[in-house]
């Protein structure tokens, strides 16, 4: 049975004291995670040790990184590798967020290398895909997202692909307050799953968690997460407010 996941992406926000306050508030705010559910906190790299300490021994709760380099070590000043992250207890890494694709020119081919690096040490990539507004307006979002999946993931074996978490994030809905309707989310999630079914078979496709991202908040999470092919969310802005994110965790159905 595929996992349901509420993933927080703090992006490049908060000072140390603000991060500490938020983590304390998260721990103190009641939220429930069932057997098949997870909460994942992708905090800025500098706060990972703090998050690991504050969230230690919380069942079904994981600390994640927002990025990692495609090599495991070497002369890459300023970078962090998946093995370095794993060595301190971080086994979830966001790959290919639209902000990294856009501002850091991360290509599909580079993202394929990052996914391979993460899987090669048994960590979990949270692979982001999603279309810009112009593509949505032209109604070619399915082909656009399918190409992203093919170019970065379809070289993987069936055994490997089930270890990848997908985050579908329409760029026009990220940080804009505009959310895809629950029907729009369901339609493209079903399409994404059908792409995996065509490539790997139905059974494999049904094991892959597909999260929705784009202005998810406490008030809309339940409706979006109730769609049959939506397995949770990747959440930016609302993950910076403990009560909002706790409600989003509780909306995992
Ligand atoms: C994100 O950063 O992945 C995101 C979905 O942001 P927001 O929830 O703020 O739209």
Q: Which of 99, 131, 169, 244 is catalytic?
A: 169
- Asked whether 66 lines ligand 1 (CB < 6 A), one says no
Q: How far is the CA of 147 from the centre of ligand 1 (A)?
A: 22
Catalytic: 97? yes
Where does the pLDDT of residue 178 fall: very low under 50, low under 70, confident under 90, or very high at 90 and above?
Answer: confident
Q: How far is the CA of 75 from the centre of ligand 1 (A)?
A: 32
| Predicted local confidence at residue 92, as pLDDT | 98
Residue 175 has pLDDT above 90, yes or no: no
Residue 25 has pLDDT above 90, yes or no: yes
The whole-number average pLDDT for the span 119-144 is 97
Atom number of ligand 1 nearest to Cα 99: 2
Residue 119 has pLDDT above 80, yes or no: yes
CB 84 within 8 A of CB 65: no
The whole-number average pLDDT for the span 36-59 is 98
Closest listed residue to residue 66, CA positions, set 47, 53, 52 = 47
| Predicted local confidence at residue 253, as pLDDT | 73
- Asked whether 179 lines ligand 1 (CB < 6 A), one says no
| Residue matched to tokens 């069936």 | 158
- Asked whether 171 lines ligand 1 (CB < 6 A), one says no
Q: List residues bridging with 95 in a β-sheet.
A: 127
The domain segmentation of the chain, as residue ranges, is 4-250
Q: List residues bridging with 211 in a β-sheet.
A: 167
The whole-number average pLDDT for the span 94-116 is 98
- Asked whether 215 lines ligand 1 (CB < 6 A), one says yes
Nearest-angstrom CA–CA distance, 212 and 170: 9
Q: Which SS3 state, helix, strand or coil, does residue 61 take?
A: strand
The CA-CA-CA angle for residues 66, 69, 74, to 5°, reads 145
Where does the pLDDT of residue 128 fall: very low under 50, low under 70, confident under 90, or very high at 90 and above?
Answer: very high
Nearest-angstrom CA–CA distance, 31 and 217: 15
Q: Which SS3 state, helix, strand or coil, does residue 90 take?
A: coil
pTM of the model: 0.97
| Predicted local confidence at residue 164, as pLDDT | 98
For 4-250, the fitting CATH number among 3.20.20.70, 3.40.30.10, 3.40.50.970, 3.30.70.20 is 3.20.20.70
In tens, the pLDDT along 55-81 reads 999 999 999 999 999 999 999 999 999
Residue 89 has pLDDT above 90, yes or no: yes
Where does the pLDDT of residue 179 fall: very low under 50, low under 70, confident under 90, or very high at 90 and above?
Answer: confident
Q: How far is the CA of 235 from the centre of ligand 1 (A)?
A: 5
The whole-number average pLDDT for the span 79-86 is 98
Where does the pLDDT of residue 132 fall: very low under 50, low under 70, confident under 90, or very high at 90 and above?
Answer: very high
| Helix/strand number for the chain, H first, E second | 12, 8
């Amino acid at each position: 049975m595929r996992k349901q996941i509420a993933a927080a992406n703090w992006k490049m926000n908060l000072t140390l004291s603000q991060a500490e306050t938020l983590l304390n508030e998260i721990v103190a705010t009641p939220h429930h995670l069932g057997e098949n559910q997870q909460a994942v906190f992708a905090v800025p790299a500098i706060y990972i040790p703090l998050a690991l300490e504050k969230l230690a021994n919380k069942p079904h709760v994981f600390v994640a990184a927002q990025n990692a380099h495609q090599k495991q070590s070497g002369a890459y000043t300023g970078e962090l590798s998946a093995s370095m992250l794993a060595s301190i207890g971080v086994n979830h890494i966001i790959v290919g967020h639209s902000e990294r694709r856009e501002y850091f020119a991360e290509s599909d081919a580079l993202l394929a290398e990052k996914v391979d690096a993460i899987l090669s040490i048994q960590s979990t990539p949270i692979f982001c895909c999603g279309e810009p507004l112009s593509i949505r307006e032209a109604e070619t979002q399915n082909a656009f997202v399918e190409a992203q999946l093919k170019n970065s993931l379809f070289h993987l074996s069936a055994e490997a692909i089930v270890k990848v978490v997908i985050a579908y994030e329409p760029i026009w809905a990220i940080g804009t307050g505009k959310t895809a309707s629950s029907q729009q989310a369901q339609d493209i999630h079903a399409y994404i799953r059908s792409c995996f079914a065509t490539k790997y078979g139905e059974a494999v496709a049904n094991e892959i968690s597909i999260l929705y991202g784009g202005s998810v908040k406490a008030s809309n999470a339940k409706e979006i997460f109730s769609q049959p092919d939506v397995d949770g969310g990747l959440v930016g802005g609302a993950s910076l407010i403990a009560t909002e994110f706790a409600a989003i965790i509780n909306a995992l159905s």
